[in-house]
Amino acid sequence: MSSPETITFMESAIKQATLALDALEVPVGVEFVVASCVIVEDGNVIASGRNRTTETRNATRHAEMEAIDVLLEQWQKNGLSMSEIAEKFSNCSLYVTCEPCIMCASALSILGIKEVFYGCPNDKFGGCGSILSLHLSNTMPLNNGVSPGKGFKSTGGIMAPEAILLLRTFYEQGNPNAPKPHRPLARQA
């Protein structure tokens, strides 16, 4: 069962996506799943993000990457060192509407985030158990002494119906930028 706190933060993550839908910026990249997220430290939302793949024409600008960039810039402006930033990330949790993709899950492992809560699983690109399990990085040092990836705790299925509803809203709308639409674009009635 999800705690009330988890639900609250997931609600704020979902709200980010609805805001994007309202603004008619399809909050989705290349026929990609809807994702928006918040990053939480000590019970406070400290950053949020949503996909900006369409407007940037950069398919790597997922919600997670957007929120991470906000924090990295802010913390360095505040004069934090790299080790202090690493320490900060290790106390942060991410709440995201959809399971982070392989790229984002790797990024979260590189940063050493503490925990990830997500809504619906991502059975095409998911990096937290669906396709790869990048949250379960091994703890044994590699044979050449290289520090291996840091794992993080990952919990899915938080408010999944709401997250799926968001997805459906997107799919009904269609993505006008995809080259060969897998789904026909919604016809103007």
Q: Which residues are catalytic?
A: 64
Q: Which of 183, 168, 179 is nearest to 30 (CA)?
A: 179
* Rounded CA separation 33/117 (Å): 16
Query: Within 13 A of 16's CA, how many CA atoms are on the CB side?
Result: 29
Question: Do residues 154 and 135 touch, judged by C-beta distance below 8 A?
Answer: yes
The answer to whether residue 74 forms part of the interface with another protein (CB under 8 A) is no
SS3 97: strand
Residues contacting another protein: total by CB under 8 A? 49
Distance in Å, CB of 66 to another protein, minimum = 12
Residue from the set 146, 172, 184, 187 that interacts with another protein by CB under 8 A: 146
With a CB cutoff of 8 Å and minimum separation 6, the contacts of 132 are 102, 105, 126
SS3 8: helix
* Rounded CA separation 117/97 (Å): 8
The answer to whether residue 107 forms part of the interface with another protein (CB under 8 A) is yes
Residue from the set 43, 140, 147, 184 that interacts with another protein by CB under 8 A: 147
* Between 10 and 71, CB nearer to another protein: 71
Residue from the set 19, 102, 136, 160 that interacts with another protein by CB under 8 A: 102
* Between 66 and 158, CB nearer to another protein: 66
The answer to whether residue 106 forms part of the interface with another protein (CB under 8 A) is yes
Query: What letter would DSSP give residue 134?
Result: G
* Between 25 and 115, CB nearer to another protein: 25
Footprint of another protein (CB under 8 A): 29-32, 53, 56-60, 65, 68-69, 72-73, 76, 81-83, 85-86, 101-103, 106-107, 109-112, 123-125, 127, 131-132, 134, 142, 144, 146-150, 176-177, 179-180, 185
